[in-house]
Amino acid sequence: MDAESIKSLLWILLWGGLFFLMMRYGCGAHMMGGHGHGGGHGNPGPGTGSENKDPVCGMTVNSQNAAAASVHGGRTYYFCSTSCRDQFEQAPDKYIGASAPAKDQQGGHHHG
């Protein structure tokens, strides 16, 4: 193997590693079934808590294994990730007015 081939191989490994991390821990984790914080989203076992809607992304979150929670106005809001919680805490009224948590609603996860 010459130096150019090794350099190309290292770049492929670097980008592959970054892609893996993004899919495993970033936004791709929602598509793959979770953030590694216990169970998949929207698929709790029977009797394992109540379902709530993440006010930031709309994902269904089980209150017992939610990644994060925040209290605002005397009400607890549950989140699929700490990233969604952080966005909520920066501007809670933006998310409460548009999408208050509801028990029997399911939604996809959309950042933006």
- Where does the pLDDT of residue 97 fall: very low under 50, low under 70, confident under 90, or very high at 90 and above? confident
* Residue 57 DSSP label: T
Q: What is the pLDDT of residues 16-58, one digit of tens each?
A: 988 888 877 776 666 555 544 444 444 444 445 688 899 999 8
Q: Say if residue 76 is in the same domain as residue 97.
A: yes
- 53 with 84, same domain: the answer is yes
Are residues 58 and 88 both part of a single domain? Answer: yes
* Res 9: pLDDT: 94
CA distance 112 to 89: 16
Residue type, 33: G
Question: Residue 30 has what pLDDT?
Answer: 60
Are residues 4 and 27 located together in one domain of the fold?
yes
Give the structural domain span for 23.
1-32
Residues 6+ apart with CB under 8 A from 28: 22
Within this chain, do residues 77 and 92 fall inside the same structural domain, yes or no?
Answer: yes
Pairing of strands 75-79, 68-72: antiparallel
Claim to verify: residue 48 and residue 73 sit in the same structural domain: yes
Q: Which residue has the higher pLDDT, 20 or 108?
A: 20
In this model, does residue 108 exceed pLDDT 90?
no
Q: Are residues 11 and 48 in the same domain?
A: no
pLDDT at 104: 40
DSSP H helices in 26-108: 28-32, 82-90, 92-98
